[in-house]
């Protein structure tokens, strides 16, 4: 993904050794060091993109936030677009990891527990850093096809996880035998829309409370019992 030394100008190569203000920056050599440096850049980019938005953010500002030279960024990312795509991917993986961790919690025999855990974990993730989530999972649609397609792929992975839960629930007779993929898409759409709304509007309810409502709606519907 990163540029080769031949792609960088001589000034940029010289700058690699010095961060902002002439601060000496040790070049990452091992794979572990390179991964750590890449994570540092993504963390800085996350802060700057969230504060300024995609269009007004510059690579120089990200480099300054990461306390690295301008040229250092291009050892790891070819462009601002590539950096933003990597950040989208990182946050998408973080969302799936958060949901997976929630599903690992023992259900105690509660058939609805996996649904509730996945839904609540999704709401918690979206609300943990509203500015970044708004940028990555809502505003990406306004940045053009190249970002919208990537975002679609990220949500497809999220739908895959929900489909696994639905398929297992159908196997155990917990839910009706509808096409699992269609159910998963419907659940993801409902959860996603509510999560997006809660990013910009405080409804005064906790993630657990909203998750209980969503799961009850999914399993019981609107008709009185």
- Which secondary-structure segment (H or E) carries 86? helix 80-103
Report the chain's mean pLDDT, rounded to a whole number.
Answer: 82
pLDDT band at 16 (very low <50, low <70, confident <90, very high): very low
Looking at per-residue confidence, does 173 or 109 come out higher? 173
Query: How many other C-beta atoms lie within 10 A of the C-beta of residue 34?
Result: 15
**Last-in-domain residue among 73, 98, 121:** 73
Instruction: Please state the domain count of the chain.
Output: 2
Predicted pLDDT at 115: 84
- Quick one: 52 and 120 in the same domain? no
Spatial contact of 126 and 133, defined as CB atoms under 8 Å apart: yes
CATH of the domain at 35: 1.10.10
Q: Does any domain span residue 174?
A: yes
Q: How confident is the model at residue 83 (pLDDT cuts 50, 70, 90)?
A: very high
Paired with 24 in beta bridges are: 18
pTM for this prediction: 0.75
For residue 96, give the CATH number of its domain.
1.10.357.10
Query: Cα Rg for the chain, rounded, in angstroms?
Result: 21
pLDDT of residue 197: 83
Residue 63 lies in a domain: yes
For residues 93 and 200, membership in a common domain is answered with yes
Is residue 137 one of the residues assigned to a domain?
yes
**Domain termination site, one of 32, 49, 73:** 73
Same domain, 37 and 113: no
Residue 118 and residue 36 share a domain: no
User: Which residue, 28, 54, 73, sits at the end of a domain?
Assistant: 73
Residue 225 lies in a domain: no
Do 58 and 94 belong together in one domain? no
User: What per-residue confidence (pLDDT) applies to 12?
Assistant: 40
Structure tokens at 56: 């007004």
Same domain, 164 and 138: yes
**Residues 146-178 pLDDT 10s:** 788 888 888 898 899 899 989 988 888 888 889
Q: Do residues 175 and 91 share a domain?
A: yes
User: What is the distance between the alpha carbons of residues 81 and 99, in angstroms, rounded to a whole number?
Assistant: 27
Whether residue 196 is found in the same domain as residue 96: yes
Of 66, 74, 79, 51, nearest to 19 by C-alpha is: 66
Give residue 55's domain range.
Answer: 5-73
Tell me the Ramachandran region of residue 199: left when phi exceeds 0, alpha when psi lies from -120 to 50, beta otherwise. Answer: alpha
Q: Give the residue, 33 or 184, on which the prediction is more confident.
A: 184
């Amino acid at each position: 993904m990163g540029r080769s030394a031949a792609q960088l100008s001589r000034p940029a190569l010289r700058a690699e050794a010095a961060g902002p203000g002439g601060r000496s920056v040790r070049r990452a050599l091992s794979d572990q060091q390179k991964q750590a440096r890449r994570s540092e850049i993504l963390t800085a980019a996350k802060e700057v993109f969230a504060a300024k938005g995609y269009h007004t953010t510059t690579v120089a500002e990200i480099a300054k936030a990461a306390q690295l030279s301008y040229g250092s960024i291009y050892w790891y990312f070819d462009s601002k677009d590539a950096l933003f795509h990597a950040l989208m991917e990182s946050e998408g993986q973080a969302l799936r990891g958060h949901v997976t961790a929630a599903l690992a919690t023992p259900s105690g025999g509660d058939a609805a527990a996996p649904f509730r855990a996945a839904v609540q974990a999704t709401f918690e993730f979206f609300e943990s850093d509203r500015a970044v989530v708004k940028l990555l999972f809502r505003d990406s649609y306004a940045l053009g096809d190249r970002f919208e397609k990537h975002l679609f792929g990220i949500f497809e992975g999220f739908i895959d996880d929900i489909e696994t839960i639905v398929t297992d629930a159908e196997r155990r007779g917990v839910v009706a035998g509808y096409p699992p993929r269609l159910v998963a898409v419907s659940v993801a759409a409902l959860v996603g829309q509510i999560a997006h709304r809660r990013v910009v509007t405080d409804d005064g309810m906790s993630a657990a409370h909203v998750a209980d409502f969503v799961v009850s709606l999914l399993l019981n519907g609107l008709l009185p019992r």
